[in-house]
Every structure is written in structure tokens, then in C-alpha cells.
Amino acid sequence: MNAKRRKMSLLVLLVLSSLACGLIDTVLNRVDGGEENMIPVAALWSDVPPMEGMSATQSFGMPEWLKVLTSPILDGMLKQFGASHWEWTGFTLSEQLPADVQAFYTQERMAAYGWKQAESACAPMTDKGVLCSFLKEEAAGTTALMIIAARDEQQKETSVFFLRASGVQGISAPESATQPAPAAGGMPTLAPVQDVDGDGQIGVCEIIPQAVLEETLGRALAAPAQPFSDPALGEGCAYDFGSDGDAAYFAYITLASEGQFNAALANATQAETVTSVGDSAFLNYGPDARQLWVRVGNKAALVAIGDRENIPAAMLFARYLIEFVKNNPSN
């Protein structure tokens, strides 16, 4: 998979993580920027079939929770792909669920309109949300299409958003319509973990591949990753992504114990429960960044990202840590 197509797969992971975590309100309250690259259109494009019962959204402003996808992933994709903007339109469904949206936008139906599923395919998140991604070869380049559906239980309706970028360069629709199956639970497979230093072990700084870190956060590492040990946080790895003016970009992850998880929860500042990752999880305001703590059995993990909070990215990184903990119970 080339770098640009891998970017599309990472985007799907991030979107699904944000839908799955049940923290849309938390995310949207901390979003800024990106809307200048999102241009609304009044109707669905002629090569995208509508579902029966779709109603145009009453308010045609950009939804706040959808803006988070533009910072930094969608904007970064535009730069990488050479496209100028995303076009988008939104609809509501009063009777159908996100699973019905996935069932409608099948590989077979979309193929009749010239689309092929992207490598990330169409991935569900139970009844909470679903994302489908498609590509089409056209004279001006490849066109990318994303369909995002999320259920609003308060309004008792499903919101469906369509995003389209035309003239994409450096990415091609797959030759075959056959797609790799999503991992258990409907999530696309994580990138493989490698023993980078060749010592026969996977160190904490090797759990999340560098390419995943850099493409997800949209910044290159400014220095080699640094392992560390902290009595309250556990065995960790710190990442330096440089700075812009007064903003310093960084992240850190740790492998911790159940006791460290419980102590962090007991001393947490404005803890928010997360129900869709690990056996239990919560968000906390740490001294330097927003922290995501996750417990799996008697093991735990921590992800923190700064200078700007990025909960979807933290959810993605947590998945790598969870998989490592599950596959290495003796660590």
C-alpha cells in the first residue's frame, strides 16, 4: 500500500474511533479551523445514489462534530493529494440506522455508478456509526468519496454526510473490487508492529509504527522517540514533533498497571468515562495534555497528545497499546 492510500486507511480508523468513543460532544467543543476547505453543495451528486427517505438537513452549516475531521487529517489529505477542497452535503433518516446505510452503499450498488471501494472498505461501529469510502478514476484524476452515518438518539434520527474530493493525485482506485475484511468488531486491521532495533523484543517505542504516528498527527518526528519510566504513569515513550511559534507538539504513551490506572482515576481532574475501548477507560486533564487511560484486565495504558488535543488519534493509538497488552500478557 502506498503512503497516500495508507493515509486514507488511517483516516477511516480515526473517524471510526471518534464515532465509537461516544465523545462527539467532547471533541466538537475543542475544534477550530479547517472549514475553509469544506464547501457545502445543495444536492447529492448524480453518481451517488440516494437512500429512500433521505431529507436534507434543515441547517446547512458545517456540523461541529464533522469539523474535527478536518483538523488535521482532511486538510492534510488535501495537501498530500493535491486537491483544493472537500465538497460535502448532509441528510437525515428518520427510520433507518447506520447499519442500514452500510447495507445500502454496497460494493455492487456503487460499482454501477463507477465507484470502487477504497482499501479501508466499509466498516460499521455497531449501531453508533459507519463509514464507507470509495474511489473513482476520472479524467482529472481520482475522486474520493466518504459516507459517514451516525445515530442521534436524542433526535431519534440518523445523520448521513457525504464528502467528496475531486482531482486527487497520487492515489488510484484498486484494480480488484475484492477488499480485505475488517478486523473483529468492524475495525480495519492495524498496521503491523515491527522490531525496529532488531533486539528480538518489541519495546514500548516500537508499539506504534512511526509512519502511523506521523501520518495520523500530520507532523514528522523532530527527534528520535525517547523511552522513559515514571512511577505514576508506567513505562513509556515520549515523542517530539517540533514546534510552531509558541506551540510545542508532542505525544507520549505508557504501559501501566491496574493500580496506576486506579490511582490516576482517583486523582483525575474532570474525568470522563469512555465505554467503547478496553475493559474500562476515561479521559483526564493531565498536567501537560489531555490523557486517555485504558485498562485491559490487570494491565493499563495511557495516551496523551499535545499541544492540541486530538481524541480520535488518542483512541487509535490506544488500540495499538491494547493489542500489544493482549498479545503480550507477561509484559
Sole residue written with cell 431519534: 156
Which tens digits make up the pLDDT trace of 28-59?
333 333 456 778 888 899 899 999 888 876 55
- Residues of the chain with pLDDT > 90: what percent? 23
Which tens digits make up the pLDDT trace of 235-293?
999 999 999 888 899 999 999 999 999 999 999 888 888 876 789 999 888 999 989 99
CA atoms within 13 A on the CB side of 287: 4
Report the range of poorest mean pLDDT among 22-31, 35-44, 99-108, 228-237.
22-31
Alpha-carbon distance 256 to 272, whole Å? 19
What is the structure's pLDDT at 26?
39
Report the range of poorest mean pLDDT among 40-54, 113-127, 302-316.
113-127
Mean pLDDT of 62-78: 57
CATH for 204-327 is: 3.40.1000
Q: What is the pTM of this model?
A: 0.54
pLDDT at 93 over 70: yes
Are residues 63 and 30 in contact, defined by beta-carbon separation less than 8 angstroms?
no
Burial class (CB in 10 A: 0-12, 13-18, 19+), 77: buried
CB atoms within 10 A of CB 88: 19
pLDDT at 141 over 90: no
Report the range of poorest mean pLDDT among 25-39, 139-153, 300-314.
25-39
SS3 label, residue 180: coil
Alpha-carbon distance 287 to 306, whole Å? 11
Helix (H) or strand (E) holding 228: strand 226-230
What is the structure's pLDDT at 180?
35
What is the structure's pLDDT at 208?
94
What is the structure's pLDDT at 17?
55
Who has greater pLDDT, 111 or 11? Answer: 111
What is the structure's pLDDT at 174?
47
How is the chain split into domains, by residue range? 3-186, 204-327
pLDDT at 185 over 50: no
Identity of the amino acid at 126: T
pLDDT at 187 over 70: no
Of 143, 142, 147, whose CA–CA distance to 161 is shortest? 147
Alpha-carbon distance 236 to 229, whole Å? 6
Of 87, 104, 89, 249, whose CA–CA distance to 160 is shortest? 89
